[in-house]
Amino acid sequence: MISQLIQKIQKTKAPICVGLDPMLGYIPNHIVQRAFKDFGETMEGAAEAVWQFNKEIIDNTYDLIPSVKPQIAMYEQFGIEGLKIYARTIEYCQNKGLLVIGDVKRGDIGSTSSAYAVGHIGSVKVGSNECRGFNTDFITVNPYLGTDGIKPFVNVCNDEDRGLFVLVKTSNPSSGEFQDRLVDGRPLYELVAEKVVEWGEASMDGDYSNVGAVVGATYPEMSKILRKLMPKTYFLVPGYGAQGGTAKDLMHCFNEDGLGAVVNSSRGIIAAYKQEKYAKFGPEHFAEASRQAVVDMIADINSVL
């Protein structure tokens, strides 16, 4: 699966994914009001607004990008109706030729991780049928429970040619509270990184492993070290743009071949029309603002590679 992502990145010259994290507050009023008119001020109405918003952004950006990363929490907040739109968004993106990274950050004891794995990147046996739940190409997972909480995801990846990104060093301000604590003189995230390498050894797909890592753009010195520790691990890099990471900050996430990282931007793309820089598009043309923000992001990142 990672080789497919790399091919799409090379074809588009865009090592990025667009974060489809649609807070209601990001969605232009005309879309929200139309959805409320059709479905009421209900979960169904909110979900419809999210769907119309996503669809327009995808339609206006899919030819420029290799992948998207929907954050499931933004759908889950609207309950079942929201999750239906999560599933619909995945399918719609895949039909447009995009790879989908489900940002689900799941992780549990072994038998439970197995259930998450089959539901998100695999299939579940129902009688004599194999049924697919959310059918994403990649998901993010949380390593706090250790190897037996991660292995079931790796097994499904190997069986189904899918991919993972394991949280190593996250982009948020307090990520250091536990992740940076020194164990035998080294930060915990380095130990996690070494485990990620180990977990991914039997999942090579070309030059990289299907088991990747989440490494925040907001901590450039750390990503430099992590890049060396995990030479064959693809990085999913959140934190660019709205969270404060710049192109210069994330250059260390890439290998010398210009590969090795896919950089996410969510708010910076999907709510671009709210920025002064893109205000000329106006709320009616929000998706064209998103398209321009994608073009600008790609140029910005390529300027440091």
Scan residues 63-122 and list those touching a copy of itself (CB under 8 A): 71, 73-74, 76-80, 82-84, 87, 105-113, 115-116, 118-120
Scan residues 169-198 and list those touching a copy of itself (CB under 8 A): 170-179, 181-184, 188, 191-192, 195
Catalytic residue set = 105
Interaction of residue 204 with a copy of itself, rule CB under 8 A: no
Distance CA 23, CA 166 (A): 25
* Interface pattern 28-47 for a copy of itself (x via CB under 8 A): ----x---x----xxx-xx-
- In the complex with a copy of itself, the residue whose CB is nearer, 3 or 112, is 112
Query: Which of 182, 174, 180 lies closest to 221, judged by CA?
Result: 180
Nearest approach in angstroms of CB 202 to a copy of itself is: 17
Residue of 29, 126, 221, 256 interacting with a copy of itself (CB under 8 A): 126
- In the complex with a copy of itself, the residue whose CB is nearer, 150 or 297, is 150
Interaction of residue 23 with a copy of itself, rule CB under 8 A: yes
* Interface pattern 143-162 for a copy of itself (x via CB under 8 A): xxxxxxx-------------
- In the complex with a copy of itself, the residue whose CB is nearer, 2 or 68, is 68
Q: Which residues pair with 126 in a beta bridge?
A: 129
Look-up: residue for tokens 């759908």?
A: 75
Q: Which residues pair with 182 in a beta bridge?
A: 187
Nearest approach in angstroms of CB 170 to a copy of itself is: 5
- In the complex with a copy of itself, the residue whose CB is nearer, 37 or 228, is 37
CB neighbours (10 Å) of residue 214?
Answer: 25
* Interface pattern 219-258 for a copy of itself (x via CB under 8 A): -------------------x----x---------------
